[in-house]
Amino acid sequence: MNKAGGKSFATVAVVARREREDVVETVLAVESILHGLGVEVLIEDATAGFLADNGHKRQILPRLELAAASDLVVVVGGDGSLLGVAREIAHKRVPVVGVNRGGLGFLAGVSPDQLESQLTAILDGGYGSEDHFLLAARVMREGEEVAISTALNDVVVHPGSMAHMMEFAMWVDGRYVYDQRSDGVIVASPTGSTAYSLSAGGPIMHPSLDAIVIVPMFPHTLTSRPLVVRGDANIRIKVLKARKTAARVSWDSQVSQELEVSDEVHISKFSTPLKLLYPTGYDFFESCRSKLDWASRLGNPSES
């Protein structure tokens, strides 16, 4: 993690995806804290639509305009909310901090029960930062691009229905890897290694790694295992056959596109990383211990 300090954020944007009681309460609390610190506050238009009036004058903007006009974006919600924000605003190069109101919250570093102290410290320059690269994937059909998007976690090619297998071929940097018959394949960034990839048997990768993991989903072979390649590798997946239902490609399980036989999905690192801020003292391994329930040995913990 890169250490930073002394940086002030004069204009802060607030974004939330879900209209849920605890999310709404936290957004209103964030807004009050920021106003109390003398910060100019921008509220995303979709978020403002489910907020009650709390006496603060609100500047409301669409997400892309809001990102361009702010020094920091605060996302209230779970990792899913952060994924959506990352895909849309990473190219604006504005740092993002997450307030966890979801499940595991690997990306959202601010705890709701320490909201005021942690958010105030970050605004005062007490934070650490990490650059998380995104994946860019485009769908090519007979030489024409028919879809393109970015993904912070993963790009998944699958048969559309999990009850059926598909067949595909894969190349890395122009070199043939294999033909495979399986439930699909997950191509994940280090950020996404603790998400769907992990559930499919992929490795946990430290966010600082410049690498991409390719994880086959229930392959029809005993020897196909996760494959880690360089972060700047170019991956090409060609649909050979999909049974009964059309194959699909999904970006972060939030955006998807139907695939036809012979379509190709080209995957590479996106040019602009997402800068995530965390409270001082955040530690990736501690996060793994607490969120993945890693076992501790019996007796006193090691002091080494």
Q: Which residues are catalytic?
A: 79
Q: Mention every residue, 6+ apart, whose C-beta is less than 8 A from residue 57.
A: none
- 276 is written with which tokens? 């995530």
Half-sphere exposure of 103 (CA within 13 A, CB side): 5
24 near 51, Cβ under 8 Å? yes
Q: Torsions phi, psi of 73, nearest 5?
A: -115, 125
Q: How far apart are CA 79 and CA 238, in angstroms?
A: 30
31 near 56, Cβ under 8 Å? yes
Report CA torsion sign: 247, 91, 66, 112.
Answer: positive
